[in-house]
Amino acid sequence: MKIATYNVNGINGRLAVLLRWLELAEPDVVCLQELKAPNESFPEAAIRDLGYDAIWHGQKSWNGVAILSRVGEIQETRRGLPGRADDDQSRYIEAAVNGVLIAGLYLPNGNPRPGPKFDYKLRWFDRLHDHLAGLFDLDAPVVVAGDFNVMPTDLDVYAPERWRDDALFAAEVRQAYAELVAQGWTDALRHLHPGEQIYTFWKYWRQSFERDAGLRIDHILLNRPAATRLVAADVDRRPRGWEKTSDHAPVWVELADKGKRRGKT
């Protein structure tokens, strides 16, 4: 089962890129972020034409998350994090798909720092920490995938000294991510690529992608039942090199079929 996460940076403006990638990569389940579209503008028909069912939690102009599946019915279990009834930002969606619980998220950017946006980011991280603590010990595989807007370590940013004061690299944010992983989650990409500079995001200017001046801010976390089935994880850099594309690249993991344990990769 191939599960991916992709911040599309505007689903309708970059629909051709998304559809091209879906046909090329053939992921089974995809978590999308930054739809930048209200619910009624989600391109359901074009996605279904490729064989994918979809659920989405849209928002006009900003945010928005979705889950796509071509391997079974999407049984939605939650939209929006618990803990704050007045939070109207569309950043979290969760569903059971083919025996796997999928949580798709778009964590706040938090800039400028300090300020209310950074405070909101930390509070959102706290709510995520509390919610995922209740999912980790499920007997079923749980996959948490999305744009976390955090570089966990110096290895995850091309020039750490330039990012110390940024909300994506602030000590408080890195600590929040570390505490989340410390619940027992496996950071799939880092687990299979220890010590490797591997990025998921490159700014549009100054030939950042061509110079590989990137950041690793898109992550996939696995609970123990999912981690035992992990066979591969990587970044699909191909779409980032296409015209009119997102500044992110898709990240994907492959889980072995149920009952098959992980072998050497």
Residues 55-67: what's their mean pLDDT? 96
Q: Which residues are catalytic?
A: 106, 147
Closest CA to 232 of 63, 33, 25: 25
What is the spatial distance between Cα 212 and Cα 204, in angstroms, rounded to a whole number? 12
Residue 11 confidence (pLDDT): 98
Residues 145-151: what's their mean pLDDT? 98
% of residues, the chain, pLDDT over 70 = 97
Residue 264 confidence (pLDDT): 37
Reported as a single tens digit per residue, the pLDDT across 196-212 is 999 999 999 999 999 99
* Confidence label for 258 from pLDDT (cuts 50, 70 and 90): confident
Task: Give pTM, 2 decimals.
Answer: 0.96
Exposed/middle/buried for 120, CB within 10 Å: 0-12, 13-18, 19+? middle
pLDDT at residue 260 greater than cutoff 60: no
pLDDT at residue 265 greater than cutoff 50: no
Strand 142-147, strand 100-106: pairing: parallel
Residue 259 confidence (pLDDT): 55
DSSP annotation of 260 reads: P
User: Within 13 Å and on the Cβ side, how many CA atoms surround 76?
Assistant: 15
Residues 5-34: what's their mean pLDDT? 98
Residue 75 confidence (pLDDT): 98
Q: Which amino acid is at 181?
A: V
The pLDDT mean for the chain works out to 96
Omega of the bond leading into 108 within 30 degrees of 0 (cis): no
In 3-state terms, what secondary structure has residue 87?
coil
